[in-house]
Structures are given as structure tokens and as C-alpha cells.
Amino acid sequence: MLEINPPRKVYDVCIVGSGAGGGTAAKVLTEGGLNVVMLEAGPRLDPDRDFKEHMWPYQLPHRGVGIGGRQRGIGDEFMAPNGFWDIEGEPYTTAPGSSFRWFRSRIEGGRTNHWGRIALRFGPADFRPHSTDGIGDDWPITYEELAPYYDKVESYIGVFGSKENVPNAPDGVFMPPPKPRCTETLIKKACDQLHITCIPSRLAILTKPLNGRDACHYCAQCGRGCRTASNFSSSQVMIPPAAATGRFTMIANAMARKIVVNDTGKAEAVSYIDKTTRTEQRVYAKTVVVAGSACESARLLLNSRSPGFPNGIANSSGVVGRYLTDSVGSDLAGYFPQLENMPIHNHDGVGAMHMYMPWWRVGKKNEFLRGYHIEFGGGRDMPGVGGFEYVCDEHEGYGVSLKQKCRSMYGTFIGFSGRGEMIPNENCYCEIDPEVKDKWGIPVLRFHWQWGENERKMAADMQQTFRSIIETAGGTVIAGTRRHPQKAAAGESNALVQQPGGRISQGGAIIHELGTIRMGNDPKTSALNKNCQAHDVKNLFVADAAPFVSNPDKNPTLSIMALSWKTSDYILDQAKKGEL
């Protein structure tokens, strides 16, 4: 008897990954009328169950200090869920002589459940590095082309800030910023003396209600999630409007393994591992948008080999995995005796800094190219869970005298972090490890990493600047970091590597990895065109930080969303014209 198979369901678009890039694409494409299926390697997120921002330490296992009395750091049970430096059964490797760290979040919303919400636009010069100083490559798009999309993203997600006209740090569509706190005022005064620009931060946190989301109530615990969705996460802000269109299907716990092409070389399906049944499945779509985060996306493309694409799909140029960069990071902290024994006062605020220093030496002659900005924090705000870890290591005694010492010292530390531009170099890239596979049988990434001389000089300059700010503000330098001044003072240096003249972060440690599927006008030297569309496969797009041509000092996520929105508008236009 003739067997009749039901017609296969073909979606308009399959998006891989639900983070900043994938979430934005889902919202724009579904609202534009397309039927979208999304593959997400992690589970669905339920803020009421998963977020812990209002739980007290005594409500948590081990009272908020991890097993063995030591927190594991970001991503443990006290932070937003399912994100960490290591994922059980899903390793990555580093080449001999290289050191690289890779923070992944396997959950709806990806790392936007964890990020610091620092939302800075790239500036006009950031899109033209080669034209500015002759090194690296210009982007195939300009700031002016992306600016309307920054406007759209900021207006939709809510970003606070102030209009300042700082060169190459463009103002945006801002909500009012929160007031500076005592420690921020102290540091601003020192910066004024040193002629370092210090202005209100720009963070994706609501200071006024927006689209049904409440304004921030200043619990200062953003790293543990936000049930009122007052800060931005893709899971709470991008996915719900996509779902509300009725044109959105999310397949959770689905790890994309390979993009499948048809006889004409166009993408026609994505093959994935259903983690709950441990079986291989396939979804069909007219267009594929890859947004698994820069390195996961490169991994997926490199693993998508076929006779027509022996080096991985969209990789005839050989650049996929190359041009990997992270921000240059360096930290230092100060102890400020004038803050000791301060009366208890209200130091409430958002879960990050209220002020920051944009790069203030634009156009000046420096020892290095490009620039960095400074993030800082400290003071008597609501301590995070585990925030007193290491304090007891510093003081003798126990009981009342120990408590008094801890109280008098609490809030007397301020930490500084520099975030600077790394110039791509040929020693930094990721590739498929020829031997190691993850527990799903998917070949893993192997990282190669070496900082260049420019980055080392920049990190040394950061250290000098931090020192002069601390001393001008009446403090004493200690070897701490912004997030954990006391912890680092007690000997932990938060993944910083000692080098002559200062300390520089490990590759990947700043969690701004990008550039691995770069865009450009020339198909010989880039994988994507200016619309983030593969030169080789016209119905394949990339919508995370992989297409970025450079890694300016500004944190990348706002730009990921702006570029994803622009790419999605282009897909809508092409779909309407029947071009995909």
C-alpha cells in the first residue's frame, strides 16, 4: 500500500538562540508577520521560580555562601539561573600556551539574564578604525546607518543616561538617570581634579515604567534576576511580544548541531539534539538566523560541513572563527578611610554603578591606539548574597569585636574596572577541536589566545589611572577588583594575569567575545555582507556579535540588539519581495 506522509511544516524563519540577538530578531520578525521557530539549547525561564533577587541569605542553602564556605562566583545558585564558566558535559578546549574563559548561559534569554545592563552605543569612529588610525578594518556600515536602530532599541527596552556630547560616546534616547551616591560623588570630585570625564551611567534599567514593566525599586540585586522586569532581559522583554503575535514557537532544550542545505546550496533545515529525549530532530525553514552568541554561532557554522561547504557553511573565505576578540580588562580597588564608621544611610540604587567614565582622551596622543572606559562601584549598598565572604579572613577575633570591625569597614572599598578596545590579531581564534566532543556528540571549540602589545600597554595605563583616581580621592590602593574589593584584597584576583606594568584579564574573561563571523564588502575576507547575510548562502543570517568587525571599548550588547533589529528589517523586506 502507498504510504502517505503528512506535508512537512516549513517555518518562514528558524532562529538559533534566544539571547540578545535571537530575542530581538524574534520580536521584529514575528511582529513583521513571519512565522518563526526558535531553537534554544536551554530550558524555558520562569522568573517567579528562577529569580532570587529578594531572597535573604538565610533562605538559601549554605546561607548564601557556597559549598565549602566559598562562592563559586557568578552563576552559582545565588545568581540568575543556568549560566556559568563551565557547563557539565559541554567542554571547550584551549590550545597549548593559550588561556581563554568562556561564559555561557543555557537558558531562555541566554546571558541577558546575567549581564550588567551597561548599554553603550558604539561611536562613529568605532565603525571606521582603519580610516581613523590605519590599523584593522572599517565596518561595511556606518554609525549613521545603525543610529536609527539604537533609537528603536533604547526606546523599546528603556535605557537611562544623560545627554553629554562626549566625543565618540553618542547620547541616546534616555530615561532620567538615578542620582549619584556618596561614593560616586567622592570619585567624581577626584575625576574633576584630574580632568577625567565622569558622567551618569547608561544602563538598561527602567527609572520610569515602560510598556507594562515597573520602574526599578532599587534593590541593587540585578545579577540575581528581576521579577518585575525592571531591567532588560531578552526572556522578559523580547520573547513575550514575539509569543503574543501567535506566530512564534520556541523549542526549548534543543541544541542545534548542523545547518542542512538543499541541492541548490540554500539552507533548508536545522538539525538539533532534543536534550530531553536525546534524539536528533530537524526543523525546516525558508530562512535561518543564527544567534547562539559569537563563538557558539561560529561553532555551528564550522560543524555544518557538506560536500558544497567542506570547511563549514558560509566559510569559503576561511574567516569563520577568526578575528576573535574580547575587551581588554584590568581592575584595581581602593580603601577609603574617610568612609569608615559612616552613619548608616540609604545607599539604595540599581544593581550597578550610577556613574562611569567614558574614554576621555579621544584624539589625544597616547602610548596605545584606541581607548577604554572605566566602571566603578562600592560603598554601603545592599550587600549581595555571599558579599561578606573573605571578610573574616582579614580580621582577627570573633564575636562582637569581629562584627564591629566588619561593620566599620563595610562600604569603605571602591573598585575600578577598565574596559578597552582590543585590536584583532592572528593569534586569537577558535576552531573545531579535532578530537573532543560534548555529551551530545557535537565537536567542541578549541580556543587560541594571545594579547597584543597594544592591549598590554592599555592595561598598564588603566592601572596608572586607577591609582591616580584612588589617591586623589584620599584612598589607598589595594589589590582588589570592582566586584569583590575585599575578596581580591584577600588574594583572589578575578582572572587577572600579572604582566609588567599591571594586570590584564584572561582572554574571554570580560565576556565580550565577538568578531568570529565577520561582515564586510569583500567575500574573500568576510563571511557576511553588510546586512549580516552570508555571502555564500543567501537565506542564512547571523544576528549576534559574531559579525562585528571591531570590538570598541563599549560593552557590545546594545549594538548586538541594534544590528539584529536592522538585519531583521532587511529579512522582512527580502521576504516581502520573495528574495529569500
Note whether 230 binds ligand SF4 by CB under 6 A. yes
How many Å separate Cα 230 from the centre of its chain? Answer: 18
Identify residues 508-527 at the interface with ligand FAD (CB under 6 A): 511
Query: In this structure, how many other beta carbons lie within 10 angstroms of the beta carbon of residue 186?
Result: 20
The cell numbers describing 225, all together, are 534576576
CA 409 to chain centre: 32
Q: Which does 226 bind (CB under 5 to 8 A by kind): ligand FAD, ligand SF4, none?
A: ligand SF4
| Whether 38 contacts 308, CB under 8 Å | no
Choose among ligand SF4, ligand FAD, none what residue 222 binds, the Cβ cut-off being 5 to 8 Å by kind: ligand SF4
Binding mask 291-310 for ligand FAD (x = CB under 6 A): xxx--x---x----------
351 near ligand SF4 (CB under 6 A)? yes
Per CB under 6 A, the segment of 212-220, 245-253, 393-401, 457-465 that binds ligand SF4 is 212-220
CB of 477 to ligand FAD, least distance (A): 25
Tell me the per-residue interface mask from 19 to 58 with ligand FAD, x by CB under 6 A, - otherwise. xxxx----------------xxxx----------------
β pairing state of 443-448 and 93-94: parallel
Contact partner, 420, from ligand SF4, ligand FAD, none, Cβ < 5-8 Å per class: none
| Grid cell of 116 as nine digits | 550588567
- Of the candidate residues 30, 71, 105, 183, the single one contacting ligand FAD (CB under 6 A): 105
Question: What is the total count of residues that contact ligand SF4 (CB under 6 A)?
Answer: 15
117 binds ligand FAD (CB under 6 A): yes
Show contacts with ligand SF4 in window 48-77 (CB under 6 A).
Answer: 53
Q: Should residue 557 be labelled a site residue for ligand FAD when binding is judged by CB under 6 A? A: yes
Residues numbered 470 to 529 that lie near ligand SF4 (CB under 6 A) are none
Supply the DSSP string of 125-175, one letter for each residue: GGG-HHHHHSSS---SS-HHHHHHHHHHHHHHH--B------TTS---S-B
Query: Does residue 547 contact residue 518 with C-beta atoms inside 8 Å?
Result: yes
DSSP tag of 496: E
CA angle 148–150–156, rounded 5-degree value: 105
Cell numbers representing residue 1 in the block = 500500500
> For residue 323, with 0-12 CB atoms within 10 Å meaning exposed, 13-18 middle and 19 or more buried, which class applies?
buried
Q: Site residues for ligand FAD, window 472-511 (CB under 6 A)?
A: 511
Interface with ligand FAD: number of residues (CB under 6 A): 40
Instruction: For residues 176 and 39, give the distance between their C-alpha atoms in angstroms, rounded to a whole number.
Output: 37
- Distance CA(184)–CA(172), nearest Å, equals 22
Q: If contact means CB under 5 to 8 A according to the sort of partner, which of ligand SF4, ligand FAD, none does residue 221 touch?
A: ligand SF4
Within 13 Å, how many C-alpha atoms sit on residue 443's CB side?
Answer: 17
The interface partner of residue 219, options being ligand FAD, ligand SF4, none and the CB cut-off 5 to 8 Å by kind, is ligand SF4
Q: Does 350 bind ligand SF4 (CB under 6 A)?
A: yes
Least separation in angstroms between CB 90 and ligand SF4: 28
> Which of 112, 113, 221, 425 forms a contact with ligand SF4 (CB under 6 A)?
221
Judged by CB under 6 A, does residue 112 bind ligand FAD?
Answer: yes
Choose between 215 and 260: whose C-beta lies nearer to ligand SF4: 215
Contact with ligand SF4 (CB under 6 A): which of 41, 79, 216, 462? 216
106 binds, among ligand FAD, ligand SF4, none (CB under 5 to 8 A by kind): ligand FAD
- What is the nearest approach in angstroms of ligand SF4 to the Cβ of residue 112? 13
The stretch near ligand SF4 (CB under 6 A) out of 5-13, 215-223, 306-314, 324-332 is 215-223
Q: Counting contacts by CB under 6 A, is residue 140 touching ligand FAD? A: no
Out of 36, 41, 80, 205, which residue is the one contacting ligand SF4 (CB under 6 A)? 205
User: In 3-state terms, what secondary structure has residue 285?
Assistant: strand
| Positions in 234-273 near ligand FAD (CB under 6 A) | 254-256
Cβ burial of 2 (10 Å; 0-12, 13-18, 19+) is: exposed
> Is 237 an interacting residue with respect to ligand SF4 (CB under 6 A)?
no
Taking the complex as a whole, the smallest distance from the CB of residue 405 to ligand FAD amounts, in Å, to 31
Nearer to ligand SF4, 329 or 351 (CB): 351
Amino acid at site 437? K
In this structure, the number of other CB atoms found within 10 A of the CB of residue 580 comes to 18
Cell numbers at 357, concatenated: 567614565
Residue 314 binds which of ligand SF4, ligand FAD, none (CB < 5-8 A, kind-dependent): none
Residues 455-466, buried b or exposed e (16+ Cβ, 10 A)? bbbbbbbbbebb
Q: Which residues have a Cβ under 8 Å from the Cβ of 107 and sit 6 or more positions away?
A: 40, 42, 43, 45, 50, 81, 82, 83, 113, 235
CB burial string 371-392: b at 16+ within 10 A, e below: bbbbbbbbbbbeebbbbebbbe
| CB 326 within 8 Å of CB 509 | yes
CB of 15 to ligand FAD, least distance (A): 9
CB of 375 to ligand FAD, least distance (A): 8
Q: By C-beta, is 293 or 526 nearer to ligand FAD? A: 293
| Smaller CB separation from ligand FAD, 105 or 531 | 105
Q: At its nearest, how many Å lie between ligand SF4 and the CB of residue 489? A: 26
Closest by CA position to 292, among listed 482, 105, 552, 529: 105
How far is C-alpha 379 from the chain's CA centre?
Answer: 25
Task: Please report whether residue 219 would count as binding ligand SF4 according to CB under 6 A.
Answer: yes
Closest CA to 372 of 485, 261, 291, 459: 459
Give the separation between CA 296 and CA 278, rounded to whole angstroms: 20
State the Cα–Cα distance between residues 393 and 515, nearest whole angstrom: 41
Cell of residue 508, nine digits: 574571554
**Residue 218 makes contact with ligand SF4 by CB under 6 A:** yes
Q: How many whole angstroms separate alpha carbon 411 and alpha carbon 346?
A: 12
Instruction: Using the minimum distance from each CB to ligand SF4, give the nearer residue, 355 or 469.
Output: 355
- Contact footprint for ligand SF4 (CB under 6 A): 53, 205, 216-222, 226, 228, 230-231, 350-351
- Contact footprint for ligand FAD (CB under 6 A): 16-22, 39-42, 74, 83, 103, 105-107, 110-112, 114-118, 254-256, 291-293, 296, 300, 511, 544-545, 555-557, 560
